[in-house]
């Protein structure tokens, strides 16, 4: 498994935990890292921390985009996996210019399929593509 894929999967797990626990994101991140210290290597570490802290700090902006473009869905009604996979990809769109949007979408779809339901892949793909087109987000 590639280092970026591993970082995204770990970030999804940390964000899932934070979403369900509803506690202080910094404390949750510390506890998560403490329990998975062996999985978070030096090469995985930068993207993992960027995604977890970036998504946590940008929830309002990310959820506003989700509410705007997820037709007939509200963030609160989405599954925890779906909304956090979407949040990570949108964060990458907006803040990780070194990652092409097509890569962010493909990674989100693949990770969503792995941890979500059968409907997660098409749902994630549709919402992210709608955001990419409407917000005129371009790849590098």
Domain that holds residue 34: 3-134
DSSP string, 26-91: HHHHHHHHHHTTTTS-TTTHHHHHHHHHHHHHTHHHHHHHHHHHSTT--GGGS-HHHHHHHHHHHH
Residue 98: inside a domain, yes or no?
A: yes
The CATH code of the domain that includes 22 is 1.10.940.10
Say how many domains are in the chain: 1
For the record, the structure tokens of 9 come out as: 């999967």
Whether residue 80 lies inside any domain: the answer is: yes
Q: At what angle do helices 80-95 and 101-115 cross, to 10 degrees?
A: 170
CB atoms < 10 A from the CB of 54, how many?
19
Split at pLDDT 50, 70, 90, the class of 29 is confident
Classified as helix, coil or strand, 133 is helix
Question: 0.75 cut: is pTM over it?
Answer: yes
Average pLDDT of the residues of the chain:
87
89 assigned to some structural domain: yes
Please tell me the distance from the alpha carbon of residue 13 to that of residue 74, in angstroms, as a whole number.
Answer: 21
pLDDT band at 91 (very low <50, low <70, confident <90, very high): very high
Place 43 in a pLDDT band, splitting at 50, 70 and 90.
Answer: low
Pick 66 or 30 by higher pLDDT: 66
Is 139 inside any structural domain? no
């Amino acid at each position: 498994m590639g280092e970026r894929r591993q970082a995204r999967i770990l970030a999804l797990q940390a964000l899932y935990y934070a979403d369900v626990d509803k506690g202080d994101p910094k404390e949750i991140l510390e506890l998560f890292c403490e329990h998975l210290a062996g999985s978070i290597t030096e090469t995985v570490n930068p993207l993992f921390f960027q995604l977890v802290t970036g998504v946590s700090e940008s929830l309002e902006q990310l959820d506003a985009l989700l509410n705007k473009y997820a037709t007939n869905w509200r963030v609160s009604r989405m599954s925890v996996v779906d909304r956090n996979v979407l949040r990570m990809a949108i964060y990458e769109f907006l803040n990780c210019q070194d990652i092409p949007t097509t890569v962010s979408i493909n990674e989100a779809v693949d990770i969503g399929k792995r941890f979500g339901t059968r409907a997660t892949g098409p749902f994630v793909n549709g919402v992210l593509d709608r955001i990419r087109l409407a917000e005129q987000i371009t790849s590098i």
